[in-house]
Structures are given as structure tokens and as C-alpha cells.
Amino acid sequence: MTTKQFFGLEWKQFRRSSFFEKGLAIKILMLLAALYFAGIAILAGVGIFFIFKKSFPDQDPFLIINNYLIYWVLGDLALRYFMQQLPVMNIKPMLLLPIKRQSVIQFLLLKTSFSFFNILPLLFFIPLTIVLMVQGYNPLMALLWFVSILAISFSINFLNFILNKNNSAFYVVVAILASLICLQYFGIFDITPYTGVFFNSFYSIGFTVLLPLALVVFLFKANYRLLRKNFYVDGAVQAKKEKFKNYNLEFLNRFGTLATFLKNDVKMITRNARPKQVLLMSFFFLFYGLFFFTQDIYKDMPVVIAFAGVFVTGGFLMTFGQLVPSWDSEYYKLMMSQNVSYRKYLESKWLLMAIGCGVSFILSTPYIYFGWETYVMIAAGASFNIGLNSFITLFGGALNRVPIELNQKAKAFSNTQGFNPTQLLISLPKILGPVIIFYIPYKLINFNAGIVALALSGVLGLVFKSYFLKMIEKIYQKNKYKTISAFSEKK
């Protein structure tokens, strides 16, 4: 088969999908988001040279750009791991037809060339290269530098294949990136001058372009061998056998009838790819405050500090909680056929989110370094998350009927599972609610009054816990069969 025929099959599969028309609005929103980021990349590519030239008039802007490219490499690699969807084809029928395996594998790898994450660097580096030429840099050497950067971008793309098969390798990359940023931030070690020499050599020497080109070829062949090794009918149809560890979760028995649900959720989170990804993302929310608490400009903006304080402890609630009950979509019909109490089911989810907020609050203790006011604000945000935000999140779950494949990671611009426009509407009170609750007393009285109001809102939520759960339970029961029907649909 030719590449054109492969693309024809891909288009028919996409167009004839049962979810095509249902997800059309989401696809349009994602297209608009992609265009937005594309426009930002183009503007950044045009303007970054002049920004550095104005900020550092005594230095060559091109050298500064080369110095910081190492962070682009590591950051792009980490971003792709979370967001980039690996190419997928329905290969079982093709393995029974007289089609060369080589052609199918090469097409799978070729598909990655059209990934948005490969196009985005082009939209940044092409304008930058043109600016370099206009500013008097050698056109030929600038072109060689661009080819080298392009080769590195594709190397990152193929390396992402390997990292997705090896979580340990990814964690090593994240640890290296975090270490380099911390070492530079605290003035201990700055790696940029050393890596800058390497990236600048693509322009100053030229023939070093062979290094990234060789790396692309090597990683392409490595991925080809990896796919070819498992490209057989038996490997495609044979059920994957996995071994799971049995955890001693007896300590959860103290929660009585809720223990069964809690144990099931803990096992789900520790055994499946999507929940693990969400758990890791919720951990990164702990560092959200660093973007605001370290900037002097925000010290005179208490509303922004309140906003950040809520997010520091709300990571697990917002990432895991917003997908209730989609986490149970694969066995929701079976669960609803049992004698399951909706009230206990919802209460177990609430308790899990509350525990997540509590653990996040404990882990946020180092923020005391920025002052007791900051830490008290985080405590007030934790109170709001546990007492009010958790119930708002559960209410949003009643309107969420998008099934989730537990062992499929969420990828941007490709996988829309677990996402719908309803979530965007429900997210508004979760974001604006704490800001309004804090701002009104702060404006009318003082800063401390705003903190007390935010903390008391969470306490009031706990007081009316039974009422909120009863109200949400009625909504879940009303939509029970609609939810079962929606979860039964497959892409």
C-alpha cells in the first residue's frame, strides 16, 4: 500500500467514528486552541531576538537563545510525554493481508511528523531563522542551525516513543530538568553557558549538524526495531498479562462501609496508567504557588495570592475529582446492577478528595518560608477545597458522561476522553468562587477578614455536608440510566 492509501484509511476511520459528530464542538475548540498556540509561537519566534537585544544590549541575543535551548529540549520532552498521542492504527486486519509490515511501520512513524508538537517548533524557529538572516547573520550557517534544531525536535519526538515504554527513563528526565532549574535559580550551578556552546556550534562550525541528523536516524531505527519486534498477529490479539501487587489496605476498614469503595479507588489509581498520570499532575499543583509567591509584583495583589493558595492544595480534587464517575465507566453497568448505595459511593469519592487536599496541605508546609500570611492563605484555601469545592466537583461529575479508558493516557489535541464543555462551566465557580469569597470581606474590612471568610466557607460546607450529598445523590439517581448508556458507547 502507498502512503496515500494509508492516509485514506485513517481519514475514513476518523470520519466514520461514532463519536465524530458528538465531539465536533470539542474538536473545534481544540482547533482554535491549536491556532492560538500557533500564533503565539510565530510571534515569539519573531520577537524573542529583539527582546533579548533590548534586555541585554551588551550581549549577542543569538548566543543567549542558544544558551537556553537546553530547557526547551528537556521541557519539550516532558511536555510530549504527558500531552502527545502516540500514533495508533487498527493493524489486526492488515496483518492478515498481503501488506508489507515495513510499509505499515514506516507509515506509523511518518504520522508523527504531522504531530502538532512537531509543527509548533517549526512555527517558532522558522521566523527566528528569518530574523537572524535579516539581522546580518550568515544565511547558510543560519540555515544549518535551523536544520540542526529541526533534527533535535524530531529526535525528541522519536525519543518520546521510548520514554512512553519506560516510565523510569521519564522520571530521570524530569529529575534532571527540575535539578537544573533549581541549581540555576539558587545560583549554585548554571549549565546554560556549556550547552550554549554546543547549540551555537551548529552556526559557528556547521558540520556539527551531522550529530543531530545521526541521532534522528538512530532513534528512527530504534523505534522501527521496537515496533517490528512486536508486529505479529499473536502479539496483536493475545491478551496482555499483567501482575498486580496486593496492597495491605486493612487500615481503610476504619471507614466502615466506605472502605470497599476506597480500596477499589486506591487499587485503580495504583494499577492504571491514566489515574497514575492524574496523580502525578496533582502533585505538580503543589508548585503552583511558586509562580506567584516568588514574584514581588503579586505581593500587593492579595486576590492573586488567594487564587494561588486554593490551587496549591486543590490539585488532586481538580484533576481526579472532575472525572467522577468516569473513572468507573468501564464497570459502571456492573456496579449499578449490584446493591450499591449511591450515597456511600459519593461519600467515598468525597472522602478521597478530602484526604487528597489534606495530604497536599501537609506537603505545602515549606511555603511557611514565604511568611505566615501566605501559609494561612493556603490553609484557608484547603478549607474551601474540602468544605465547598469538593461538593461542586461532585455536582459537576453528575453531568459528566464521557467514558475513560483507564490504561490510556490523556493526550492533548488527540484524546478528548474525560473532557466536555460542561466541565468548563463547572470549573468557573471552582476558580472564581474562592476569589469572590475572599475579595468582598477583604475590600470591605481587611486582609484577615478575607482569610476568615474563605476558611469559614469550608467549615459551613462541612456543616451542610449531608444536605449537599443528598442533593447530589438525587441528580446522580435521576441521570443513572443516561450515564450507563453513555458509558456503554465506545469510540
**What pLDDT score does 12 carry?**
65
Report the chain's terminal Cα–Cα distance, integer Å: 26
**What pLDDT score does 479 carry?**
82
Q: What DSSP letter does each residue of 285-354 carry, written as one string?
A: GGGTTHHHHT-GGGTT-HHHHHHHHHHHH-HHHHHHGGGTTGGGGGGHHHHHTS---HHHHHHHHHHHHH
- Interatomic CA distance for residues 335 and 261, integer angstroms: 11
Q: Is 369 exposed, middle or buried (0-12, 13-18, 19+ CB in 10 A)?
A: exposed
**What pLDDT score does 232 carry?**
62
**What pLDDT score does 138 carry?**
92
Compute CA distances 36 → 41, 44, 140, 284, whole Å.
Answer: 9, 12, 31, 25
324: left (phi over 0), alpha (psi -120 to 50) or beta: beta
Q: 448: how many CB neighbours lie within 10 A of its CB? A: 12
Each residue's pLDDT tens digit in the chain (491 positions)?
A: 665 666 566 656 655 555 555 555 556 766 777 788 888 889 988 989 999 888 888 888 999 999 888 888 888 887 777 667 665 555 556 666 667 777 777 777 777 777 778 888 889 999 999 999 999 899 999 999 999 999 999 888 888 877 776 666 666 766 776 777 777 767 787 778 888 888 999 998 888 899 999 999 998 888 888 777 766 655 544 445 555 556 667 777 788 888 888 888 888 888 887 888 788 888 888 887 877 777 777 777 778 888 888 888 888 888 888 888 888 888 888 888 877 788 888 899 999 999 999 999 999 888 888 888 888 888 998 999 998 888 988 888 777 777 777 776 554 434 444 444 555 566 777 778 888 888 888 888 888 888 899 899 999 989 999 999 999 888 888 888 888 887 776 54
3-state SS class at 409:
coil
Residue whose entry in the numeric block shows the C-alpha cell 460542561: 422
3-state SS class at 89:
coil
Compute CA distances 462 → 271, 310, 385, 455, 475, whole Å.
Answer: 31, 17, 11, 11, 20
Do the Cβ atoms of 224 and 109 come closer than 8 Å? yes
Q: 370: how many CB neighbours lie within 10 A of its CB? A: 18
Q: Is 294 exposed, middle or buried (0-12, 13-18, 19+ CB in 10 A)?
A: exposed
Do the Cβ atoms of 212 and 148 come closer than 8 Å? yes
Cis? peptide before 441, omega within 30° of 0? no
C-alpha torsion 66→67→72→74, nearest 10: 130
The overall pTM is greater than 0.75:
no
Closest by CA to 330, choosing from 232, 241, 418, is 418
- Interatomic CA distance for residues 330 and 96, integer angstroms: 30
